[in-house]
Amino acid sequence: MGGFAPARPADARRLLPSVTVVVEWDNARLSELRRARATLRTLHDQLLALGPILEQSRLLILFDDASVPWRLIEETLQAELADERVRLRSQAVAATGLTYYALKNHGASLADTEIVGFVDSDVVPEPDWLPKLLEPFGDPHVQVVCGNTYMTTDSVYAKAFALFWFFHLRAADGPPRPVKEFFANNVAFRRRVLEAYPYPPQPGFKGSCIDLGKTLRANGITVWQQPGARVQHPPPNGPWHFVCRALCEGHDNAVRQAAQGVASQRSLKSVYWRFRGSLADSVHRIRGNREQVALSRAGVPFAIGIAALYYVLVLAGECVSVRYPGAIRRYFAI
């Protein structure tokens, strides 16, 4: 791959390519509806600001009408996009039975623009998220660009997740850089790349983006991270979502180890040592990075307690999935 040569600031907006922004409405079932509405409002403003490429760009909202009422989607679009829906080329698309990654693939198949961008219904983009995510595509060698997904920090609960969970902390501005992995809630592709390499099916709840990242690297396609293309992600929404999210992470751990085919890694002893490692890493990150999220010293024990409870549930999810492979998906699916 060639080196990255960003557009000059004065030319950046003029050089932005047309884009189809795909929003899945799967996560909105678990998060607060107000966040999904805030996402649409932000996308509305940013798409309108694209200027010359607005008429070629699109906004697609993909949802499973078996679990999300069409009326709710239509009312939300009417409230947040008002009379701009024609100018935005916005469209709600029902996709019965499809979930997270399958919704993204279906949205990409409907795109007719050079670039396909993905943002989730439970994250809120920062004001310049879209132009910053598109800017690196001014270099014709750039095929995939991801942004920085970080957690909200408006409570001790949220700060704990910001420190121990898998998302990175809020990044400072800087030039694009190559990375090995990306999150599916904040990424854009040239459409031809997605046509060749869609999100692969997998038996877990999450992780298809990890597999896709490996496939892209194996085929010589670099993923570039644009630090300034930031979106804000919430922690699990309430006790039930907290429990289900942790159990499903444990389920995915078990599925991943089974796929690797190493029997020793699927033993309860190995499950326990993974739990120990995750908890130790969480304690280290909470203590070492607390000042970056303004967590007080008094808040550290609470944050560690939240992390400990979460990983106890992950441990339980993995143990149950080793013994009863279908139980978590049947009773606690996210």
Let me know if residue 224 belongs to a domain: yes
Output the pLDDT for position 78: 81
By the 8 A CB rule, do 175 and 77 touch?
no
Let me know if residue 1 belongs to a domain: no
Output the pLDDT for position 8: 42
Alpha-carbon distance of 250 to 233, in angstroms, equals 21
- Tens-level pLDDT at each residue, the chain (334 residues): 444 544 444 344 456 889 999 998 876 666 667 888 889 889 988 988 887 787 788 999 999 988 888 888 888 888 887 666 656 788 899 999 998 999 999 999 999 999 999 999 899 999 999 999 999 999 999 999 999 999 999 999 999 999 999 999 999 999 999 999 999 999 999 999 999 999 999 888 888 999 999 999 999 999 999 999 999 999 999 999 999 999 999 999 998 888 776 555 567 788 889 999 999 999 999 999 999 999 999 999 999 999 999 999 999 999 999 889 899 999 998 8
Alpha-carbon distance of 156 to 303, in angstroms, equals 7
DSSP class of residue 133 equals H
By the 8 A CB rule, do 306 and 157 touch?
yes
DSSP class of residue 5 equals -
Helix (H, G, I), strand (E, B) or coil at 96: coil
A 10 A CB-CB count for 38 gives 17
CA atoms within 13 A of residue 153's CA, in its CB half-sphere: 21
Give the residue from 233, 265, 291 where a domain finishes: 233
Give the residue from 213, 233, 253 where a domain finishes: 233
Output the pLDDT for position 5: 47
Domain identity same for 193 and 298: no
Structural domain containing residue 255: 238-331
154-174 pLDDT per residue, tens: 999 999 999 999 999 999 999
Domain identity same for 191 and 225: yes
* Strands 124-125 and 90-94, sheet pairing: unpaired
Burial class (CB in 10 A: 0-12, 13-18, 19+), 8: exposed
Number of domains forming the structure of the chain = 2
68-98 pLDDT per residue, tens: 888 888 888 888 876 666 567 888 999 999 9
Output the pLDDT for position 15: 66
Q: What is the pTM of this model?
A: 0.90
CA distances from 334 to 144, 165, 247 (A): 27, 17, 9
Let me know if residue 2 belongs to a domain: no
Helix (H, G, I), strand (E, B) or coil at 171: coil
Domain identity same for 88 and 24: yes
Residue showing tokens 């013994």: 323
Give the residue from 233, 255, 270 where a domain finishes: 233
Mean pLDDT for the chain? 89
Domain identity same for 290 and 176: no
By the 8 A CB rule, do 183 and 149 touch?
yes
Domain identity same for 150 and 273: no
Domain identity same for 209 and 71: yes
Polymer length of the chain:
334
Domain identity same for 16 and 44: yes
Contacts of 154 by beta carbon, 8 Å cutoff, 6+ apart:
none
Domain identity same for 305 and 289: yes
